[in-house]
């Protein structure tokens, strides 16, 4: 029989953007503003988290919640236009959905592995597997 605290844990593994250390973070406690165990940099789980080739698969495999990944590039106008919509989605689903951003130019291996040919591309994962995909601009209706 699980205790209530064990049942409410939603573990994920994130890499600290400041020092590169992988951290186990409990999404159920996102309101407590978790910090990196090594450098104490905060994880802002109410906004998209950056990932790259090196940490993409551990994050996806270790997520206990659905994950939405925005495959984008800094130069992409539609990607930049969609950023506030994705930000709002991440904020409204904080603790229930993990939103990630992967720069396809900085992480070409992961982009190639998923056959990303147009950006922005959003892929939803459940249980470490691709569940749904959308290519092109997405509004709040599509993200819901």
Q: Are 137 and 85 contacting, i.e. CB atoms less than 8 angstroms apart?
A: no
Output the CA–CA distances (angstroms, integers) from residue 128 to 83, 123, 124, 137, 144, in the order listed: 24, 11, 10, 24, 20
> Residue 76 catalytic?
yes
- Distance CA(119)–CA(103), nearest Å, equals 10
**Is 36 part of the annotated catalytic residue set?**
no
User: Six-digit token pair at 104?
Assistant: 């396809």
Helix/strand/coil for 14: strand
Contact between 84 and 90 (Cβ < 8 Å): no
Options 16, 19, 39, 76, the catalytic residue = 76
Check if the beta carbon of residue 71 is closer than 8 Å to that of residue 47.
no
Provide the annotated active-site residues: 76, 79
């Amino acid at each position: 029989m699980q205790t209530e605290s064990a049942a409410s844990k939603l573990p994920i593994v994130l890499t600290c953007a400041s020092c590169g250390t992988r951290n186990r973070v409990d999404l159920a406690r996102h309101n407590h503003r978790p910090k990196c165990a090594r450098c104490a940099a905060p994880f802002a789980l109410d906004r998209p988290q950056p990932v790259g080739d090196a940490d993409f698969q551990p994050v996806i495999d270790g997520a206990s919640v659905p994950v939405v990944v925005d495959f984008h590039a800094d130069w992409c106008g539609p990607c930049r236009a969609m950023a506030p919509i994705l930000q709002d989605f991440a904020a409204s689903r904080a603790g229930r959905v993990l939103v990630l951003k992967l720069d396809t130019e900085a992480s070409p291996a992961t982009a190639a592995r998923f056959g990303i040919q147009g950006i922005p591309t959003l892929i939803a994962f459940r249980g470490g597997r691709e569940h749904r995909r959308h290519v092109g601009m997405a509004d709040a209706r599509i993200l819901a």
